[in-house]
Structure 1
Amino acid sequence: MFWRILPHATECSASDKLFLLDLRQDRYFAVPEALAGSMLEWLDRRYACAPPHDIRELLARARILRDGDPDPTNALKERVTFPTELERPSGADHRIIGRLALSALIAGTWTKLRARSLQGVLASRAARPALPARGHRNEISAIAASYDERRSSTPISRNCLLDSLALDALLARHGFGATLVFGVCATPFGAHCWLQTPELVLNDSYDHVARFTPILAQ
């Protein structure tokens, strides 16, 4: 479970530590231990209310909360469900996309990530197709597997965010949506993202992504 405390900021608890993701600053923040209890008590309240003064000050100092922003909320809680099937996609179809077309897609995604904030990049996904109903597993698996097999022909280094967004764009060309999930692990700190549908993790293994606590899904 994670909390969407501001339109651009989400929060989760991982291994008894609290973390914030600020899309506007493209940054993760660890909540100081001295304030973690107060933050969690606010998040866990059964009614919506404004944050305590010390939490508001923390958010302001970190520039997560700025003049003109709405009040932070503890009311928006979201759960991420891992797919029911654990194996990775297989069955590539090389007719889905050629090497040059895939290289152009990845290069365009790479450029977009450097020209926009993460908040802006994710906002552009708002018009993505809806998540697929069950029954399209084979088609989606073929797209994901084809992307993975063609990927080595592109000189740009692999990166979980870059490749998740590029695969997401390829799926959208074929009329399929997916959920982009961001997760964190506490010790040592690590962050990761991946694509999934209700049935499959598309660009990673279940065993790997299960190590991360979701902090954002969209």
Structure 2
Amino acid sequence: MQTAISNPFQDHLERGELDEAVHAVKVGSDLVLLDLATDGYLLVPECGDVRVEGGNLQAPMDLMLDLAAGELLQSGRTQRHRLPPPSVPLRRLPEAPVGRPTAGDMATFAILWADTVRRKPTLQDLSRQVSGRRGRRDDLMALSSRVGLFRQMLPYAPAVGACLFQAELLLRFLNAADLDAEWVFGVRVWPFLAHCWLQVGEHCVSQAPDTLTIYRPIMAI
């Protein structure tokens, strides 16, 4: 009869802080990390007893050592308290009257589209650029009306790109009207997919909420 030998480095949970550029989420038995510094994701399958709370991480010592070696943990600095990302939104924005885009709306859209196409920012660049923005999130009818204008003009854009491009363009179009929303990034595993969207509380701003149920939010900016 063989006796299982416990590995103290695997059983003992260590607490640490993720680097300021690193975000993490537990998806089932797997851990997904988003490193803004490298603009990439890392999947740690079957990671064991791991707990993620904002920027704090509790994990077996061997995993913490691996993350420290990869420079994914804080090295002596103390970061500001990081709130966890919001839950996946469950509701649509309320229906609001939407008129035809004005000349000013079309000019704003065209300028923002051209600037968004021109730049090739990393996720870290985007996070820094939009982190200090201000705008109203409590007027759902105004948000709905503004999104309606955006959707009328988007099909006429020469290129609309993937979710990252569209979310940035919509966020900047909202900001131009003194409106705002959270920009949320989510992941799923097996197969691995990453996606992003805009939301305000439990209301999805950029798409139908039932298309997001397969994702777990990993970061919000």
Q: TM (normalized to structure 2)?
A: 0.76
Identity percentage of aligned residues: 23
* Structure 2 partner of 1:208: 211
1:30 matches 2:43: yes
Q: Which moved more, 1:4-13 or 1:99-108?
A: 99-108
Preserved CA contact (<8 Å) 2:18 2:72:
no
2:69 aligns with: 60
Counterpart selection for 1:17 from 25, 30, 35: 30
Secondary structure of the residue aligned to 1:147 is helix
Q: Deviations over 1:76-106 (max 9, x none)?
A: 5514134463357664333355445423312
Residue 128 in 1 paired to residue 133 in 2? Answer: yes
Gaps of 5+ in 2: 1-15
Instruction: Give SS of 2:115's match.
Output: helix
Structure showing greater relative contact order (alpha-carbon pairs closer than 8 Å, 6 or more residues apart)? 1
In 2, distance between residues paired with 1:125 and 1:162?
Answer: 14
Cα contact 1:93–1:143 (8 A) shared by 2: no
SS of the counterpart of 1:93? coil
Q: Which has the higher strand share?
A: 2
Measure how far apart 1:128 and its partner are: 1.3
List gaps (5 residues or longer) in structure 1.
none
Which residue of 140, 143, 150 corresponds with 2:153?
150
TM-score, length basis structure 1: 0.77
Q: Is the contact between residue 108 and residue 173 of structure 2 (CA under 8 Å) also seen in structure 1?
A: no
Give the 3-state SS of the residue equivalent to 1:24 in structure 2: coil
Give 1:123 deviation, angstroms: 0.7
Counterpart contact for 1:179–1:196, Cα < 8 Å: yes
Report the aligned-residue RMSD. Answer: 3.2
Say yes or no: does 1:111 pair with 2:114. Answer: no
The answer to which of 49-58 and 198-207 deviates more is 49-58
Return the match for 1:5 from 12, 15, 18: 18
Instruction: Judge conservation of contact 1:21–1:27 (CA < 8 Å) in 2.
Output: yes
Residue number in structure 1 paired with 2:166? 163
Q: Answer yes or no: is the 8 Å Cα contact 1:183–1:214 preserved in 2.
A: yes
- Please tell me whether the aligned partners of residues 107 and 156 of structure 1 are also in contact (alpha carbons under 8 angstroms): no
1:13-64 Cα offsets, whole Å, 9 max, x none, are: 123211001111111110143xx126x16x47xx988983542333533x54
Aligned equivalents of 1:206 and 1:172: distance in 2? 22
Which letter maps to 1:132?
R
3-state SS of 1:124 partner: helix
Which protein is bigger by CA-based radius of gyration?
2
